[in-house]
Structure 1
Amino acid sequence: MKTVFCMTQYPSTGTTRPVSSPAKAPEVEVIQSRVSADRNSVGVVDFPEGPQSSLSSPGVYIEPESNHLSSPATPEVVSPEGLDQLSWPLESRFEASLLKYFLTTLSPWFDYCDPQQHFRTYIGNAAPTDITLLYAVLAVSARHQSSSLHRHSHIADEYQKRCLRSLIAALNDEANALKDTILASAVILRFFEEMTEPPEESIRTHTLSAQLLLRIREGHVYRSSFTDAAFLVVLRSETYVANMTQRPIGNLVDHCNIDTSLGPASEGMWALRAIAHAAKATDFAYGDDDDAASSKARWESLMQYVDDWERLCPPSFQPMYARPQISASNPFPHMWYANDYHVAARQHIELARVLLLASNAQSCLARIRQRRMGQSNDECIRDSVRIICGVCMSNPEFVPAQISAGLVIAICGELFDDPTETKILFQVLSDAESHLGWPCLKAKEYLRGLWHL
């Protein structure tokens, strides 16, 4: 088992999730356990403005009216159970506000590096006629508000329960190919699960692992451009969670329809190659490989890919403007990019570099010798972390870039001790955790203590 020397598993990250092969994925089931008694209050409908209220850029949809509610089952809030379809237009202003919240606030995270905006477009068109998909959207919107704004937690659980009833039946029906709406619902509820805290006291499922989604893709899903978009979302999510829980991803990249060669391709494909390579570097960093020679050869191949990607990618992947630091008080590099896939590519290539440098298959004596000669990998890792964070701070319009920055700070923050840098890194991490709303994967408090902030 290779150990990534600069990574720390934080007590708050929860239990590492094991990886199983798609063929061994269990039949879909749902396990419901109690919800903690301290989450009884149901919030109000109005959403306060501010940078920590959403994943999207400023100008998110804000529901202006407040509506104090005493129960998640109140008819004005949650539609009656047992419906095959909700009326359209939606009769509940609250449910309409949750759908709007997803389209304007959460969909940019799903549609990152997707110029076709599959999730926003598809869900906007399909939600009126598919109650499973609509309940998934309402669930994740209510859960995100619960995580970031501390409201609607019980309502989110109710929507998730209703979505799973029809979703599970469809997932277990191997006689019929699954519609895109089922795959979309499963991907959205995976996002929902990561926002659920505390994990052991909330509604849990075995339905939405990446391995089960692979099983769906391999045999029972219509192929479409939306399928590819959905699996890219899963790949990005898995890369984040796997690094925070220090486990490999598995062979998810093989099922994402990404050309991982370095031949001529569209700019979008070059970005997907970088994302896929970060996933492969994650597998190497946390995977088992007892053969030293094989491990060394694989490490060299993965690092060579990073160098070759840098050398062969289109010129547009270079920043349109760059300076050594953002300002006199901010020492991180200033780098402007034109598109979200340029930002994502740069961050993921640097993430791959960080993981490979941190898991370089060298003897302990070789590491000590490097440090004595001033050639330690630590400074190279810090440089990549600075680039990832500089890209995030220089391009605030691409909000998902905060998540990549928060991730690399969480796993490499211990390598920084300069107060000027740590204060800025802590703010970037805080913003990322607030926007993402995945409380079970937070590292902020650990680094606050380490940096004495």
Structure 2
Amino acid sequence: MRVGKGCERCRHRHIRCTIPPGAPACAPCTRLGRACHLDPRFQFKAVHHVYQKEKGTTARFDFNWGEDQVWVDVSSKLVTFVLEADGSSEGGEFELSRHTSLTPPYLPHINQSAECAGGFENRPTMHSPLQISRSPRISTSDSPFSSQSDKRSTISYREASLMRCFIQKIAPWADICDPQSHFSTIVPQRALQVPMILKALMALAARHDAILTGNSDLEASSYHGECLELLIPVLDQPENAYNENLLVTVVILRICEELENNTDEKFHLLGSNRLINLMSRSASSDGLAEAVSWQFLRQAIYASVVQYQPLQLNLENYQCSTMFQRTDDAAVANMIIFHCAQIIQHCRDGPGALVDISTWRHSAKSIEDWHQSMPTTWQPLRYQAPNIAVDRPFPEIWMMSAPAVVGMQYYHAACIFLSLSDPHSQPNNDYELTRSRRMTERTIATHLVIVIGLSWSNESVQNAYFMACHLLHRFGYCLRHTSEQQGALRFLGRVEKVLGWRTSWIKQELEQQWTELAQLDLVRH
């Protein structure tokens, strides 16, 4: 026999609920050995008043509970409230004396409008007036915060936990240069309305949780697959049908890919050129789409730095962003991020490649102008230079704001790429070539040490860990002193422990590079 609305568990799992003839429970619950909570075949309708006609006159009688009204006569000495979940008591018992008055205020809140409209299909079964059954799904109807309309959350307890993980731990990474914190506020709200975003968010949070706890990644892979089933048909539509929901989904999936950075396939980074161009055009659209586009720019910089991928974004679209019209810390940080992207795009051919002198000078001037116009509030509250003699390889730099920490990191990253592509340092002979390379490595090491110091000194700014990791992977070989190398390894270990960003593979590569370079530097006797 097919149940019309299904038991509570089958509705939660979105599966067919079938009851064999004469069976007390449905087939799925019987197979799993779980309690089956079936809705009653009858429905109660709340009656607040009646009309009675007598001798041609109609009178209304209201049913109101008095403050001293006894709801039910209790013959035993004690009454025990059992808070049930999945058919078992969780120890939430409250004993009341026999003479305690049980009046309606002590009953679960009942949404009267929902019941009058036909009402109990989504409510847990109440086996007796003295049992409060807790549903495994989140429902606002039994909460003092519930509204008169029957609007309930449709996510499970696990999904709610993953949502909270995203809001508290992951979204601040993307909101680092966004004063409105769109990823912490708007994106979770949008996820409850757009299944594609919800699946992407669940996949990201589940993968992050699996990394931190050392558990299987199966849950994240399942959510990822469900998201792709919704995403692919959207990508097949014409470009004019694309919207910010698509952009949010792709960016979240890209973060999910980055968490597996040692095996990063970059599927959601590369995508189609249509989507990439749409990302950059959204930079001037304000609101959520603009915030997403700036996050995508940082993701593109990451791929260029770590994986030598060319920047395909049309950076001119970012110049129309509202960021260039503001002077707050977030806007100032986004400006240097933009300049850093420009330099990386110009130097994308790698070390030794010829760069147009006028282009290089323009980029260098942009960086210097930004540095000169930097707000005074971006000056460190405290600065202590590194001292290798006492095993303090990185400087101590206390900054006043989170965007200032990240902004200064991108400034030093831009300086590194300017040094790599400096057309004025083209050598005329072999000696000058060797000298130029060593001077460049020393310059890179100086900036890299500062970037790591900014991360160490401002531990609450978790986004600052990323650029330090990216530059260590690319240029960590430039750190030649043992104290700097060991400090870098300790830093990478902390990043994986705190952030869930896999860095073990970076540590292994750096150790191999340092060992090989040390062997090459040995003097033959």
TM-score, structure 2 as length reference: 0.62
Instruction: Write out aligned runs for 1:97-112 (5 A).
Output: 97-112=161-176
Q: Counterpart in 1 of 2:66?
A: none
In structure 1, which of residues 173, 177, 182 is the aligned counterpart of residue 246 of structure 2? 182
Q: Counterpart in 2 of 1:393?
A: 456
In structure 1, which of residues 351, 367, 379 is the aligned counterpart of residue 413 of structure 2? 351
Q: Does 1:414 align with 2:477?
A: yes
Structure 1 residues 450 and 325, CA gap change in structure 2 (3 angstroms): same
Q: Distance in 2 between matches of 1:264 and 1:207?
A: 29
Q: Is the 8 A contact 2:300 2:311 kept in 1?
A: yes
Q: Counterpart in 2 of 1:149?
A: 213
Q: Distance in 2 between matches of 1:397 and 1:289?
A: 34
Corresponding residue pairs, total = 366
Per the TM alignment, residue 205 of structure 1 is displaced from its structure 2 partner at its CA by 4.6
Per mean C-alpha deviation after superposition, the further-off stretch among 269-278 and 344-353 is: 269-278
Q: Distance in 1 between matches of 2:433 and 2:323?
A: 33
Structure of greater Rg = 2
Per the TM alignment, residue 195 of structure 1 is displaced from its structure 2 partner at its CA by 3.0
Q: Distance in 2 between matches of 1:189 and 1:91?
A: 20
Q: Distance in 2 between matches of 1:106 and 1:364?
A: 46
Match of 2:428, SS state, is helix
Per the TM alignment, residue 88 of structure 1 is displaced from its structure 2 partner at its CA by 4.3
Structure 1 residues 373 and 136, CA gap change in structure 2 (3 angstroms): closer
Q: Is the 8 A contact 1:262 1:309 kept in 2?
A: no
Q: Is the 8 A contact 1:139 1:157 kept in 2?
A: yes
Per the TM alignment, residue 283 of structure 1 is displaced from its structure 2 partner at its CA by 1.7
Per the TM alignment, residue 447 of structure 1 is displaced from its structure 2 partner at its CA by 0.8
Per mean C-alpha deviation after superposition, the further-off stretch among 120-129 and 443-452 is: 443-452
Q: Which has the higher contact order (CA 8 A, sep 6+)?
A: 1
Between the two proteins, what is the percent identity of the paired residues?
23
Match of 1:365, SS state, is coil
Q: Does 1:325 align with 2:386?
A: yes
Structure 1 residues 289 and 188, CA gap change in structure 2 (3 angstroms): same
Per the TM alignment, residue 334 of structure 1 is displaced from its structure 2 partner at its CA by 1.5
Deviations 1:295-349, CA, capped at 9 Å, x for gaps: 2222222122222211122212221222223894313221111111111111001
Letter of the aligned partner of 1:104 in structure 2?
Q
In structure 1, which of residues 244, 247, 254 is the aligned counterpart of residue 316 of structure 2? 254
Instruction: Write out aligned runs for 1:36-115 (5 A).
Output: 88-90=152-154, 92-115=156-179
Structure 1 residues 367 and 128, CA gap change in structure 2 (3 angstroms): farther
In structure 1, which of residues 278, 282, 305 is the aligned counterpart of residue 366 of structure 2? 305
Per mean C-alpha deviation after superposition, the further-off stretch among 343-352 and 425-434 is: 425-434
Q: Counterpart in 2 of 1:381?
A: 444
Q: Counterpart in 1 of 2:341?
A: 279
Q: Is the 8 A contact 1:214 1:255 kept in 2?
A: no
Letter of the aligned partner of 1:247 in structure 2?
Q
Per mean C-alpha deviation after superposition, the further-off stretch among 144-153 and 314-323 is: 144-153
Structure 1 residues 277 and 138, CA gap change in structure 2 (3 angstroms): same
Q: Counterpart in 2 of 1:173?
A: 237
Per mean C-alpha deviation after superposition, the further-off stretch among 263-272 and 217-226 is: 217-226
Q: Which runs of 4+ in 1 moved over 6 A?
A: 218-222, 260-264, 288-291
In structure 1, which of residues 446, 449, 453 is the aligned counterpart of residue 512 of structure 2? 449
Q: Counterpart in 1 of 2:182?
A: 118
Letter of the aligned partner of 1:378 in structure 2?
E
Q: Distance in 1 between matches of 2:247 and 2:312?
A: 20
Match of 2:336, SS state, is helix
Which ranges in structure 2 are unaligned for 5 or more consecutive residues? 1-135, 138-150, 519-525
Deviations 1:430-452, CA, capped at 9 Å, x for gaps: 33355565659942211123345
Q: Counterpart in 2 of 1:36?
A: none
In structure 1, which of residues 292, 315, 340 is the aligned counterpart of residue 376 of structure 2? 315
Match of 1:417, SS state, is coil
Q: Does 1:229 align with 2:291?
A: yes
Q: Is the 8 A contact 1:403 1:436 kept in 2?
A: no
